[in-house]
Structure 1
């Protein structure tokens, strides 16, 4: 007898609701096992949450609607909104800005929901400057331009930076017309380099040299500033404004109180104090006695004995005890000594040419010349008489 073959699984039809289990989640698709000859496929974007991560896992039950049947059965979730893809395509072509809400951050940039479609904004396109903490944008609604979009809404890329740059151009022209030397302004640190920091004044960048950051010594601008920090500055120099060699020099320390104004008033000659060696040169060492105030220890005052070079005694970073030996407020000079004054007073004074009494006009340091007058009444002997006596003595 002929045995009839068991009926195979029924093929799904378009529009039919299909239930099954998630067998695999790939980069682009979700594979659903529903008992058919092959697994059905669902766009992975349809199960992603606001943070960009899948809301379902392998083994979860899922019910979806069949949208097409062929070599592959394609599904869509019931009631899933496709978003205004046409609106995104129009915005891309026309350059019309769109609003979007930042829903998350991934390894490449921000996840944004705009016009009902999940989009992406790279880190480099978030702002005109480097963003240190992109998480601060999550939950905010921002304005973007659509740089890339497809008719399926799977690859929508946004940019905020291009809008900000256009806005900055207008601000820059307005700022250049008002900019004056001595003007005090607020700005945002845009970039930091070993020689200083660039500050965005509103479409135009100015530069604060490392020596103008603070009265206190700054070796590395990164130690006192960070990108995105708001700072107060004063315009000190402007060159070729609006030209190809435009340069705006700024200062932060000019807005601080000058420590020298009070430093000298608080010090007295002979006072003992603590400090740190900040620089060593051939003729001595500079010691910071308070932020922004340095004193000089001459090489002769570094140690009781002879010192060939200051580096034999001190190095930058050394903590030292010093004594004030001289103050000059007008010249902003403080002379210091690392030798205890009581110890220095016991040293044998060195010969100093300055200790000689001043020479009178016409005087000479050479021995006096022999008197040649030959007059015995003046008590002196002529050269001829001297030689004659010498011959007589030798003849004897």
Structure 2
């Protein structure tokens, strides 16, 4: 080839290179956009500006929005360059990392602007709920759950807490980001914070005496927690029902809708009542249960200081240890049993404190008094019969009317004399009430007098 031809060829090549587009290799980590030229099950070939060809394959083809399922040949796609010098000469791309980048931007914007975002936990441990979005790990601590989702259990039982938390996996949560750690790919989120403003507004409007509807958010030994209007309050065990409550779980289950009354607000501590929305049975009890009345019931609870007697569905009375028997009691369980039917006398009624005092020994003492009186009468009759036979009729009449014939104490006789009653015949027209109205004469003495005249 002549020198002229060689020179011409070189000039032509230089001209072609001069007019051809500059060939550039995408930088690692850069976000590029290309057109899909081939799609297989887990692999995409992408044309990059007609110069390079990219490949997206394996785990890098899968992102949180499942882009692979939605796109096809001819569609535009964005991906991150993860290798620009592969042996095959292809640019290795990642849909997953591109989606992760978008997700980081969404999380960062939400964190900086206090925006509420929705997340779905995919795992739980005893400390809270875990989630992962495009390789970014998130955590919602137990303490940051809203009232309705907070796992209230007796004794902070870790196993029960975990069981409650596991039921929340897969549920959509509205949250705010509390902290963001891009270097380690971690987020801390809060469900409580997402509703903070609503909670504050609701608390400002809340008033004592207000009736509200809510859902049971927790049941523990000492009461029932109810969540309402982004708030939560406690129905103490003493405010669940008018009668004795031994097990709060008998009055509802988690998630049940209930109507409650607000009875106290102390900063953010809210006290609630269920029983005050029902009629007070003690108002009717004032008419039914009066001092001196004999009642029957079933022992439903035994304590160290006495036994409780169920008088009706709402009212219990207390038989104190000292009112069971006159004998010393070393073990109440040897005297009374739960389920045992008992007859007792009402000895005290305190409507303000919702208490009724009962006594078993008061009934037994009354029966013993009657027996003693009968025996005394019999002995007196036997002693007087021989003396009467030797007396005249007039003497008998005078003797029969003598106060000394009554088996009563000298003190009682003196009291009667001072009141103007000197003969037995003076007392015959007096009722039991008349006798007890005489100052110094008690019910027991009055009954004893009446039985003898």
Identify the match of residue 120 of structure 1 among 128, 133, 138: 138
Q: Which residue of 189, 210, 214 corresponds with 1:158?
A: 189
For 1:127, what is the secondary structure of its paired residue?
A: coil
Unpaired stretches in structure 2, ≥5 consecutive residues: 1-27, 30-56, 66-79, 86-90, 152-160, 377-407, 420-453
Give distance in 1, aligned partners of 2:300 and 2:414. 41
Q: Name the residue aligned to 1:320.
A: 340
Contact 2:124 2:169 in 1 (8 A): no
Measured on the aligned residues, the alpha-carbon RMSD in Å equals 5.7
Counterpart check, 1:105 vs 2:129: no
* Residues 1:359 and 2:421 aligned together: no
Residue aligned with 2:415, SS: coil
SS at match of 1:145: strand
CA contact under 8 A between 2:299 and 2:308: conserved in structure 1? no
- Matches of 2:237 and 2:299 in 1, distance apart? 22
Q: Distance in 1 between matches of 2:170 and 2:107?
A: 21
Give the Cα–Cα distance (whole angstroms) in 2 for the partners of residues 109 and 76 of structure 1: 38
Change (3 A) 1:141 1:97: same
> Post-superposition shift, 1:169?
1.4
State the structure with more CA Rg: 2
State the partner residue of 1:82.
98
| Residue aligned with 1:106, SS | strand
| CA deviations over 1:34-70 (Å, ceiling 9, x no partner) | xxxxxxxx999998999xxxxxxxxxxxxxx993489
Q: After TM superposition, list the pairs within 5 Å mapping 1:81-230 onto structure 2.
A: 82-83=98-99, 84=102, 85-100=104-119, 102=120, 104-107=122-125, 109-112=128-131, 118-124=136-142, 125-128=144-147, 130-131=150-151, 133-149=164-180, 154-175=185-206, 179-181=207-209, 183-188=210-215, 196=223, 199-202=226-229, 206-219=233-246, 230=257
Kindly tell me: are residues 274 and 192 of structure 1, through their superposed partners in 2, closer, same or farther at Cα, counting changes over 3 Å? closer
Distance 1:259 1:76 in 2: 79
Deviation at 1:227, TM superposition (A): 7.1
Query: 1:275 aligns to what?
Result: 299
Match of 2:19 in 1: none
Displacement after TM superposition at 1:290 (Å) = 4.1
Tell me if the contact between 1:217 and 1:291 (Cα under 8 Å) persists in the aligned partners.
Answer: no
Q: TM-score, with normalisation over the residues of structure 2? A: 0.47
1:359 and 1:188 map into 2 onto residues whose CA distance is 69
Query: Which of the numbers 317, 322, 344 marks the counterpart of 1:295?
Result: 317
How far has the Cα of 1:322 moved from its partner? 0.5
- What displacement does 1:228 show? 6.3
- Report the Cα distance in structure 2 between the residues aligned to 1:112 and 1:339, rounded to whole angstroms: 69
Instruction: Determine the structure 1 residue equivalent to 2:48.
Output: none
TM-score normalised by the chain length of structure 1: 0.53
The correspondence of residues 36-47 of structure 1 with structure 2, limited to 5 A, is: none
